[in-house]
Amino acid sequence: MNTFKYLGALITDDAECTGDIRARLGNGTGNLKSMQILWQSHDISVDIKVRLLKTVVWSAAIYGCEGWTFRKSDELRIEACEIKGLRQNGRYFEFHGEQEKTILENGGVTRTLLASITKLRYF
């Protein structure tokens, strides 16, 4: 057996965390897509949407991150997940060609997901 799921985490025989990181980010992205009606609502302010994004989507995406070991590709994947959430939140879509800097400025946020994961990790 090369991979098995234990308490929600993917354990591999080579102790790589890439599969687990992908699975967790996929779980967060699933939460993001299930809340699509909320992100498209004009009645809710962007500030509240960012707070919901951090509590619902990112908490599901980084659950169990304490034991992750990163590669550069994993860090890029986490940052891409963060930008994807902010694009959906601020009614920006990928085909508009918005730059990451513009998305962060319009949302009034800074990159915090990777920093919070790094702070929580044991290794």
pLDDT, one tens digit per residue, over 47-73 is 888 888 888 888 888 888 887 888 889
pTM assigned to the model: 0.76
Total tally of structural domains belonging to the chain = 1
Interatomic CA distance for residues 104 and 94, integer angstroms:
14
pLDDT at residue 107, rounded to an integer: 64
Domain limits for position 20: 3-120
pLDDT at residue 11, rounded to an integer: 77
pLDDT tens for residues 80-104?
A: 888 888 877 765 545 455 677 776 7
